[in-house]
Amino acid sequence: MGYLTRTFYVALLLIPIMSTKVSAQTTKKPLRVGVVGLVHSHVGWILNRAKKTGDPDIEVVGIAEPNREVAERYMQRYGLPMSLVYPTVEEMLDKTKPDAVTAFNEISNHINVVKLCAPRGIHVMVEKPLAVSIDQARQMEALAKKHKIHLLTNYETTWYSSNHKAYQLAVKEGGIGPIRRIVVHDGHDGPSRMNKEFVAWLTDPVTNGAGALFDFGCYGANLATWLLKGERPTTVSAVTLQIKPEVYPKVDDDATIVLTYPKTQVVIQASWNWPFSRKDMEVYGETGYVFTLDGTRMRIRLKEDKTEQTAEAAKTDAPVTDPFDYLAQVVRGETKSVDDLSSLQVNMIVMEILDAARRSAKDGGKPIALK
């Protein structure tokens, strides 16, 4: 058999294999996603995805929202049909049969979403934080494990490429030496300017768990737990302020949380009283430091550097840049959520920290030992 003949014969043999691969890629169906609640201002994130036609990763098949006025407002804003909306979570789940749901309701109702979804085998992603208390979080964890569903928590900062580049440098490469101090700043000038249905539950200690302490303190607790590879702090202490009691009469609007570890300290500053929005972090090691200024910009100084260097993180520095693509990958088994920022393992520790911080603040900042 000549060279050309052999080449043609081999090509013929490969055609079925290549066709199978192409077919597998083109027949992957988008994840069927249900949305629970429209009262969280972050809901625009998923509604923007719902507008996309031919989305290969997710398809929004139903929305549960009992407040008709809120539902009509959002459907009009995002150009979506009211036929997507159901008055109850149960009806939405039973009629649309989603693979997963994303919760944009009150934090106190996250537990009810899991109670309804877990027995049906429906995976859940909630907005941060996981729950309003460690007791609720433990119930949710037990349900997720019993029914073998994924229970994920979404934070805006999870998708910052700068945070992942900092993790690569500080944790994976050990480029700044052992981590000795982490300082996290998260906050803005307050939620009072946001839509009324969001402000109503966010400024209620029952439905949100606290004020700025939970709303923004959770970011630092999440990042610190991730950077310290799941280590639990030995003590948690917190001091809260009510700078604007006339605006936020029921909850704190400024909080400082201090976490102590055997050889590391973490300071989390959360506020509704900063003049500008900020989500940034400082990670200090024995031999250098890395700061994240926003989603991409960074400042770095290593042991051999004579001066501080500026850096820009690329999108590719983050494994995934969107929570719903990540949700689809986890449900399909394309990636594992074990000890990453969204994982249940990490966020159970976050809830221990927040629960202890709330108790410490009520006791004048007395350190709470985690058992």
Return the structure tokens found at 94: 């039973």
Task: Tell whether 102 is covered by a domain.
Answer: yes
Task: Tell whether 249 is covered by a domain.
Answer: yes
Q: pLDDT averaged over consecutive 10-residue blocks of the chain (371 residues)?
A: 42 40 57 97 94 89 97 96 98 98 98 98 98 98 98 98 98 98 97 91 97 98 98 98 97 98 98 97 98 98 96 95 96 92 98 98 97 80
Among 252, 288, 260, 278, CA closest to 184 = 278
Domain stop point among 156, 172, 190: 156
146 and 168: one domain? Answer: no
44 and 141: one domain? Answer: yes
300 and 204: one domain? Answer: yes
| CATH label of the domain that carries residue 136 | 3.40.50.720
Residue with tokens 């550097």: 305
Q: Are strands 278-285 and 58-64 parallel, antiparallel or unpaired?
A: unpaired
Q: What is the DSSP string of 120-162?
A: GT-EEEEESSS-SSHHHHHHHHHHHHHHT--EEEE-GGGG-HH
How far is residue 234's CA from residue 72's CA, in Å, rounded to a whole number? 48
Task: Tell whether 17 is covered by a domain.
Answer: no
230 and 128: one domain? Answer: no
137 and 283: one domain? Answer: no
Among 48, 46, 52, 51, CA closest to 33 = 46
148 and 237: one domain? Answer: no
Residue with tokens 């700078």: 243
| CATH label of the domain that carries residue 201 | 3.30.360.10
Task: Tell whether 217 is covered by a domain.
Answer: yes
For the chain, strand residue ranges (E) read 31-36, 58-64, 85-86, 100-103, 123-127, 151-154, 179-187, 235-241, 254-260, 265-271, 278-285, 289-292, 297-301, 309-312, 368-369
165 and 132: one domain? Answer: no
Return the structure tokens found at 267: 């300071």
Task: Tell whether 354 is covered by a domain.
Answer: yes
Task: Tell whether 83 is covered by a domain.
Answer: yes
152 and 164: one domain? Answer: no
Instruction: Please tell me the pTM assigned to this model.
Output: 0.91
Q: 341 near 158, Cβ under 8 Å?
A: yes
Full domain range(s) for residue 197: 157-320+337-369
Task: Tell whether 12 is covered by a domain.
Answer: no
189 and 81: one domain? Answer: no
100 and 51: one domain? Answer: yes
Left, alpha or beta for 79 (phi > 0: left; psi -120 to 50: alpha)?
left
How far is residue 295's CA from residue 367's CA, in Å, rounded to a whole number? 32
Residue with tokens 């992942």: 164
Please report, for the chain, how many H helices and E strands are present, in that order: 13, 15
Q: Number of structural domains, the chain?
A: 2
Domain stop point among 100, 123, 156: 156
Q: Which residues contact 6 (CB under 8 A, 6 or more apart)?
A: none
Among 128, 75, 138, CA closest to 104 = 128
121 and 252: one domain? Answer: no
203 and 349: one domain? Answer: yes
Domain stop point among 124, 156, 188: 156
